[in-house]
Structure 1
Amino acid sequence: MTTTDCSNSDASNSELGYSCNGLNTNCQAYLVFRSQSPYNTVASISSLLAADPSQVSAINSVSETATFDTDKLVIVPVLCSCSGQYYQANTSYVVQQDDNEFLIANNTYQGLSTCQAINNQTSDVTTNIYAGETLTIPLRCACPTKNQTDVGVKYLLSYLVTWGDFVSSISVRFSVDIGSTLNANELSEQNANINPFTTLLVPLQNPPSSSQTIAPPPPPSSPPPPSPTSSANKSSKKTWVFVVVGVLGGSSLLLVLGTIIFCIFFRKTKRKSDPKCASESFEAYEKPTASKLDQDSQDFLLRMSSIAQSLKVYKFEDLKSATDNFSPSCWIRESVFRGNFNGDFAAIKKMNGDVSKEISILNKINHSNLIRLSGVCFNDGDWYLVYEYAVNGSLSDWIYYNNSDGKILNWTQRMQIALDVATGLNYLHSFTNPPHVHKDIRSSAVLLDSDFRAKIANFALARSAEGQDGEFTLTRHIVGTKGYMAPEYLENGLISTKMDVYAFGVLMLEILTGKQAGALFGEGNMNVSAVLPNEEDGQEGLRNFLDPSMQGNYPLQLVIIVVRLIDSCLKKDPTARPAMDEIVTSLTRIFTSSLTFNMSNNISGFQM
């Protein structure tokens, strides 16, 4: 087994990773890790594999503070990218006493990497590694090929093979056709041998679930074979049951959709004192008259039947009741109110004009770092959008030095928020089809939940990023927030995902300095070099640059890395800026190191 033979450096074999032959150069992928002390919590496993703890906890249906039983299969979402000829998801590891490449690859990482791949990451021709040294560990992952995507495969999971595993048993666990698994790993029915401490790619049409980490029960003892007559009768009965269920289910679905379509299309001509229609499948709503809507909004209403199952359509009376008739005591900011629906809080935003594009985008996306739209309402010419409630308000309430409420975030909280925003943007850029640009990233568009986890909001300006040249689109309609707009957008109307990267750089600058973009750049053209400290400024220059409210509680070495990252995001040339997946990788490492700094300095929580 060459993957455990560290003296074998033959790069023609599979020790270095899976070939970069997929349809995309980067993708969402999944790893399987077996919980072993000290890597038996969401936090420790996420740190070891450079994963987002919130994603790990969500996909495994546990809290972020959870501890797993020994040998529990843990699903870990990662971003997989091409590096030369091979796919990999990079993480970093600090070498411990008595470690070697073999133990790191096969003990610590359980076969998710190989000693050959670890050695291949460094350009130094050395034979030893030393305690305290930081290594880059390439984790084994892959993206689906075109042949796989053509048959519905969207994700590949790197499964850690152990004793007693077979291709068939692994395929059954994840509800995958055995032939598909064999093909994904270039195996055949005649040669289907797999070995412990290796990985097996499992092709998936849907993300894996926590239920698939539970070992299937052993097969029951075989009952005596039924008589042919009995078997035929049972089969016949089952067939009739399926037919009846299918007919009833189909009839119910048609009835629901028919009711919705009837309410939308055919009630236009009826004039009754109560223009509300009700359906068992969704909340009743008040149908606006055609004179109150522009054509886009009418078109949106005609599409309502396709999204009614995922979005509630509220009655205006319900919104009035939830906000105490839009009382000032429920006002949050601008046209946003806090609503209480049977004990569950929501944010209700009043809007006018065409909101169909924003609703359409929000109805398609599903990510913990993007605000969730739960319902809509139309009344008297205005739209009301009902969102999940972020109890700690917007980031702008927290990061500006000397804010009126005395709210302060520590260094690690700031890095977590930056990582959350980057992760949400990366989802928009890389995992929506087509990719989308937010176009309005700013501190007031980032909301904080009860755990100070960030959620991107305000999708009114968001749009598809697909252009004729594959990267940029053009517009003459320049809209956005002053201080955050990228120079290529302001000067030439160029739209791409790199304009979000620029705005994110400005946002990180605000997070570090505690100053608003306008105060940083003034009224003239943005001069990044005049704002960011340079090497000659030394440690004192860095301290003067940072938000004084952190009172020196930050690791200067990490500050330098973050400043360099900001500088790369604010390059005038958009092609010179990093992609969001690169930013996520960098911030993941920074955040992991920040947690260590927090623990060593006994820093926790927030201050008010």
Structure 2
Amino acid sequence: MEPQIRHGCSLLLFIFFIFPFPPSSAQSPDADGYSCTANQTTAPCQAYVFYRATAPDFLDLATIADLFWVSRHEISRPSNISDSNATFPLVSGQPLFIPITCSCNSVNASVSISYANLSYKINSGDSFWLVSTSKFQNLTTFQSVEVVNPTLVPTNLSIGVDVVFPIFCKCPNSTQFKNRVNFMVSYVIHPQDTLFSIASRFGVPTSEITAANRPNPKAFDTIFIPVSRLPNLTQPIVLPPPPEQPPAPAIEGKNRAVTGLAIGMGIAGFLLILMVGLWVCGVGKRRRSEREMKEGIERQKLQEVGIWKGKGKEMEMDLMADVSDCLDKYRVFKIEELNEATNGFHERSLIQGSVYKGSINGVEFAIKKMKWNAYEQLKILQKVNHGNLVKLEGFCVDPDDTTCYLIYEYVENGSLHSWLHGSQKRKLNWRRRLRIAIDVANGLLYVHEHTRPRVVHKDIKSSNILLDASMRAKIANFGLAKSGCNAITMHIVGTQGYIAPEYIADGVVSTKMDIFAFGVVLLELVSGKEAIDEEGRVLWMRASGFSEGKEKEKLDRLKNWIDEALFEQSCPMESVMDVMNVAVSCLQKDPTKRPSMVEVVYALSKSDDAVFDFSDDTLSAPILTAR
């Protein structure tokens, strides 16, 4: 008995040594995911997952990049793989860092889960459990997939259906952010791992790992590693392909055989070229036939969903062909549903412009009526899915008058423009204005950095920023958006007062024009003034000399800028000054001198921390007072 007792004690000590996680205040997850609250972190944020290349399907960067909806280079750079080796096959078990966008997502009225939502198209033989454990390597659980996809039946999945797989992640909280934790890496524990080996791999103290995670993690649980920068991964040496063997020397006395062989090869080559030409012609005819058949099938499919009504109208056929790619991605509404929801598009249902409010089956939607020019907008909206962007729910096409309707989620509290420049402006305190700025910045960060090719919104302004029931901001109206950067256009569109100088002068389309317009929005949030006044003067021109002079001069200048509604409140002058400095940097006439959205989000988050730490009982920071 005594040896057995000693053996049991040794086993307990061994287990404790492997993962000596003490009880902590970190939230404990269950199989459904890692719970969170929206104000607990700086979410959404940049995060990473630690992933291992696996045979047979995931031994190249391109396949893994497609799985996580990123580019090959977005994996190779943080994973210490040179560009010259990025196209080579990977070694089974080779470690990789993959970037993801992490956020706190509400799954029902009482539960929010921290994850990155990745869309995956179901293949033959797939199940929630198989994809979670094999392809995503336990970075999520099948229970969490079921929670996030409540309308899908796990035992009856259709091939081709899109499923959201919630990849577990975390954003640094304010304390970690102050301790220079820039990223949280999602890491799945393997049976051979120890706390010491994990800490050594990432170069962080074991105490920081335990503090960031629940106690007593098990094998195949996801834990989160707080890092200031990603460690360099040691990658296997990739050997170059073997050199070609030199041709064997000619053997004397066989010249005739060589000559005969050359003539034979020439004849064979001629015949091969002839056969290839005939094959190409046949393939071309077959492809034309297949294309015509496919168009017929698409027309039949459109008839089945009830939106193919006319025949023989060339415009109508082009219109239907345009939207056929979107039929499986969005709900297709019937024009009868929209007419009933808006009482025949009565003016009482009109929100603004050509946007109407309507209720369908008890759910409220914003319905945008437009002539058919929405195909590019639909293509772009298919690529974006973020909490700070207004979500497209579906569309409708009325072929009788070639009108398209885009149906969006209804955002309850209207536009930022109406709050800043209407009668409700006094209700927006400084902290709320700052949170709105951070929300918009995070939305733009996602659009600029996590879409391929990158998307430029081109019409950022306070009237295109909507506020939901919790007063969180969402970017709306991608009608002018452009997929792809550094293009040149002669067709200048946008809203006066927000348009970047280089776009007006040279037609240059880039993410920097969005950053310029965002700088104007920041000026509106600070000053309460419109982007262009009744006399046609633009607001950003008046901020050009703000950063000049001594601190006292800048402080006096700032007091002349501040919205009068803010003087009725107490807020730290340091935070307002920081935001004003960010605005001025975004408004640089030289686009190369403007910050990226990553830098903007970081600067605004620091200012948000200052407001969060500020209280009326602690008057160490300067306070805005009435003039």
Residue 542 (str. 1) matches residue 558 (str. 2): yes
Task: Encode CA deviations 1:187-225: one digit per residue, 9 max, x unaligned.
Answer: 9xxxxxx9955879xxxxxxxxxx9659xxxxxxxxxxx
Q: Which residue of 1 aligns with 2:605?
A: 588
Amino acid of the structure 1 residue aligned with 2:191: F
Q: State, as a whole percentage, how many aligned pairs show the same letter.
A: 34
Amino acid of the structure 1 residue aligned with 2:322: F
The aligned runs of 1:124-163 (5 Å cut-off) are 136-139=179-182, 157-159=185-187
The 2-side partners of 1:432 and 1:260 are apart by: 29
Q: Which has the larger radius of gyration?
A: 2
The 2-side partners of 1:501 and 1:292 are apart by: 41
Q: Which residue of 2 aligns with 1:378?
A: 397
2:363 to 335, 340, 344: 344
Quote how far apart the aligned CAs of 1:314 are.
Answer: 1.1
Query: Is the partner of 2:367 in helix, strand or coil?
Result: strand
Q: Which residue of 2 aligns with 1:387?
A: 408
The 1-side partners of 2:318 and 2:193 are apart by: 52
Q: Is the 2:105–2:112 Cα contact (8 Å) retained in structure 1?
A: no
Q: Which residue of 1 aligns with 2:570?
A: 553
The 1-side partners of 2:478 and 2:461 are apart by: 12
Amino acid of the structure 1 residue aligned with 2:605: T
Quote how far apart the aligned CAs of 1:43 are.
Answer: 5.8
Taking a change above 3 Å as real, the CA distance of residues 44 and 513 of structure 1, as seen in their structure-2 partners, is closer
Q: Which residue of 2 aligns with 1:516?
A: 530
Amino acid of the structure 1 residue aligned with 2:299: F
2:319 to 290, 297, 311: 297
Query: Is the partner of 1:567 in helix, strand or coil?
Result: helix
1:576 to 589, 593, 601: 593
Taking a change above 3 Å as real, the CA distance of residues 382 and 395 of structure 1, as seen in their structure-2 partners, is same
Query: Is the partner of 1:583 in helix, strand or coil?
Result: helix
Amino acid of the structure 2 residue aligned with 1:574: P
Taking a change above 3 Å as real, the CA distance of residues 526 and 514 of structure 1, as seen in their structure-2 partners, is closer
TM-score by length of 2: 0.56
The 2-side partners of 1:431 and 1:42 are apart by: 23
Amino acid of the structure 2 residue aligned with 1:320: N
Residue 46 (str. 1) matches residue 34 (str. 2): no
Taking a change above 3 Å as real, the CA distance of residues 50 and 310 of structure 1, as seen in their structure-2 partners, is closer
Q: Is the 2:420–2:525 Cα contact (8 Å) retained in structure 1?
A: yes
Taking a change above 3 Å as real, the CA distance of residues 572 and 443 of structure 1, as seen in their structure-2 partners, is same
Residue 57 (str. 1) matches residue 78 (str. 2): no
Where do 5+ consecutive residues of structure 2 fail to align?
Answer: 1-20, 29-35, 48-100, 115-140, 142-166, 211-219, 224-292, 620-627
Amino acid of the structure 1 residue aligned with 2:490: R
The aligned runs of 1:10-21 (5 Å cut-off) are none
Give me the CA root mean square deviation: 4.5
Q: Which residue of 2 aligns with 1:30?
A: none
Quote how far apart the aligned CAs of 1:308 are.
Answer: 2.1
Quote how far apart the aligned CAs of 1:477 are.
Answer: 1.0
Residue 461 (str. 1) matches residue 480 (str. 2): yes
Taking a change above 3 Å as real, the CA distance of residues 158 and 345 of structure 1, as seen in their structure-2 partners, is same
The 1-side partners of 2:46 and 2:616 are apart by: 19
Q: Is the 2:316–2:402 Cα contact (8 Å) retained in structure 1?
A: no
Taking a change above 3 Å as real, the CA distance of residues 47 and 484 of structure 1, as seen in their structure-2 partners, is closer
Quote how far apart the aligned CAs of 1:384 are.
Answer: 0.8
The 2-side partners of 1:34 and 1:324 are apart by: 61
The 2-side partners of 1:313 and 1:370 are apart by: 21
Quote how far apart the aligned CAs of 1:44 are.
Answer: 7.0
Task: Encode CA deviations 1:418-455: one digit per residue, 9 max, x unaligned.
Answer: 11111111111100011110000001111111111111
2:453 to 409, 431, 434: 434
The 1-side partners of 2:527 and 2:368 are apart by: 30
The 1-side partners of 2:329 and 2:22 are apart by: 35
Q: Is the 1:441–1:503 Cα contact (8 Å) retained in structure 2?
A: yes
Q: Is the 2:105–2:113 Cα contact (8 Å) retained in structure 1?
A: no
Taking a change above 3 Å as real, the CA distance of residues 503 and 289 of structure 1, as seen in their structure-2 partners, is farther
Q: Which residue of 1 aligns with 2:583?
A: 566
Amino acid of the structure 2 residue aligned with 1:541: R
Quote how far apart the aligned CAs of 1:529 are.
Answer: 4.0
Residue 502 (str. 1) matches residue 549 (str. 2): no
Quote how far apart the aligned CAs of 1:364 are.
Answer: 2.1
The 2-side partners of 1:319 and 1:49 are apart by: 34
The 1-side partners of 2:330 and 2:448 are apart by: 24
Taking a change above 3 Å as real, the CA distance of residues 478 and 139 of structure 1, as seen in their structure-2 partners, is closer
Quote how far apart the aligned CAs of 1:62 are.
Answer: 8.5
Q: Is the 1:504–1:569 Cα contact (8 Å) retained in structure 2?
A: yes
Taking a change above 3 Å as real, the CA distance of residues 51 and 555 of structure 1, as seen in their structure-2 partners, is farther
Q: Which residue of 2 aligns with 1:492?
A: 506
Taking a change above 3 Å as real, the CA distance of residues 140 and 484 of structure 1, as seen in their structure-2 partners, is closer
The 2-side partners of 1:50 and 1:389 are apart by: 25
Q: Which residue of 1 aligns with 2:145?
A: none
Q: Is the 1:397–1:407 Cα contact (8 Å) retained in structure 2?
A: no
Query: Is the partner of 2:382 in helix, strand or coil?
Result: helix
Q: Is the 1:160–1:198 Cα contact (8 Å) retained in structure 2?
A: no
Quote how far apart the aligned CAs of 1:366 are.
Answer: 0.7
Number of aligned residue pairs: give it. Answer: 405
Q: Which residue of 1 aligns with 2:69?
A: none
Q: Which residue of 2 aligns with 1:265?
A: 299
Taking a change above 3 Å as real, the CA distance of residues 593 and 315 of structure 1, as seen in their structure-2 partners, is same
The 2-side partners of 1:545 and 1:431 are apart by: 35
The 2-side partners of 1:492 and 1:316 are apart by: 42
Query: Is the partner of 1:553 in helix, strand or coil?
Result: coil
Taking a change above 3 Å as real, the CA distance of residues 375 and 50 of structure 1, as seen in their structure-2 partners, is closer
Task: Encode CA deviations 1:245-291: one digit per residue, 9 max, x unaligned.
Answer: xxxxxxxxxxxxxx997674258xxxxxxxx8445xxxx43545563
2:418 to 397, 415, 424: 397
Task: Encode CA deviations 1:87-113: one digit per residue, 9 max, x unaligned.
Answer: xx8x875xxxxxxxxxxxxxxx6xxxx
TM-score by length of 1: 0.57
Q: Which residue of 2 aligns with 1:236?
A: none
The 2-side partners of 1:318 and 1:48 are apart by: 37
The 1-side partners of 2:108 and 2:308 are apart by: 37
Q: Which residue of 1 aligns with 2:494?
A: 480
Amino acid of the structure 1 residue aligned with 2:406: L
